[in-house]
Amino acid sequence: MTALTPVLPDAPQGGTPSKGSTTAARKSPRFSNGKRGLEPWLYLAPAFIVLIALLGYPIFQLINVSLYDYRQAQVSGKAPLNFVGLENYQKLFADPQFWTVLGNTVVFATACVVFTLLVGSSLAVLATRLRPWVRSMLFVVSLGAWATPAVTGSAVWLFLFEPTLGLVNKTLVAIGLTQFEGYSWTYDKWSAFGLVASEVVWCSFPFVLVTVYAGIQAIPTEVIEAARIDGASMPRIARSIMLPMLRPIVIVVTIQSIIWNFKIFSQIYIMTNGGGIAGQNLVLNVYGYQQAFAASLYGLGSALGVIMTALLMVITLVYLRILKRTGEAL
């Protein structure tokens, strides 16, 4: 979202009680001091009514269903509803497939996050040194990749890597690597994950590129000028001024990437045809969906959803904690 551009530098400020983050841009106090008790709630009400109905209640129901033995028979009312407590969770924890899927998810999502951030931010730094028309070209192309819907992006990448007709194999064979004749990229577990991951990085690095670039642009020229006049070298400026000032943006971008990449669904579902051969490419999200809607084990699927949410919250909390220890929080 290029839209974030002008705002992100101070966006994190409001996120938590904005201690410590003193942005030069904001001179006036944040709030007027009028006493207006109910007013904010009136503005909040419509959004929160929707959120409670469509997020709050379903989340509660998700937890609820995960505690029941809830299958097709219960849905249609042919069998009584059995409260089974944590049995669904116990079943999952005892199932080796669950641990494999969990491992897959962590490895796959971490790879996606790391590569997205690396590619995005190195291109952002690169973009500051480009001629304007080259920069425009890079941004337009990235916007194109960003705008591509997950379904179509997956389709195109699948086509490029098609075993017999795909351009990639054709090219590899043409340059003499004949072992790629008819090679299936989705047959092997990790090459399939790699293929999906490259599509994910392709369509998600632009978010990082645009936001980090905007962050670099938002650093006031005077600050850097002043540092230069004081005799600071360029690397020194980058390390001691630009990095700390970019920190809030990097935090936001990282958290968003973690949230998005751990939740990848469409790409895996489409590119590996619902989770790969014998489910080798399942990630938690797809696994939960399959358990619920393909196997009609709604209770088990819900338990997986709860685990997934908890996992994301833990990861984000740990990340924020580490940040706090190393310096300012968001």
Tell whether residue 79 is a contact of other proteins (CB under 8 A): no
Q: Please tell me whether residue 232 binds other proteins under the rule CB under 8 A.
A: no
Q: Does 216 bind other proteins (CB under 8 A)?
A: yes
Residue 16 is a binding residue for other proteins (CB under 8 A):
yes
Single residue of 112, 123, 196, 245 touching other proteins by CB under 8 A: 123
Residue 208: closest CA among 80, 94, 330, 118: 118
Count of residues near other proteins by CB under 8 A? 123
Q: Which of 20, 24, 36, 118 binds other proteins (CB under 8 A)?
A: 36
Distance of alpha carbon 11 from alpha carbon 248, whole angstroms: 8
Binding mask 297-316 for other proteins (x = CB under 8 A): -x--xx-xxx-xx--xx--x
Of residues 127-156, which lie at the interface with other proteins (CB under 8 A)? Answer: 127-132, 134-153, 155-156
- CA pair distance 57, 61, nearest whole angstrom: 6
CB of 99 to other proteins, least distance (A): 19
Is residue 81 near other proteins by the rule CB under 8 A? no
Residue from 48, 93, 99, 187 that binds other proteins (CB under 8 A)? 48
Q: Is 197 in the site for other proteins (CB under 8 A)?
A: no
CA distance 327 to 330: 10
Comparison of 111 and 238: residue with beta carbon closer to other proteins: 238
Q: Which of residues 277-296 bind other proteins (CB under 8 A)?
A: 284-286, 288-289, 292-293
User: Which residue, 106 or 224, has its beta carbon nearer to other proteins?
Assistant: 224
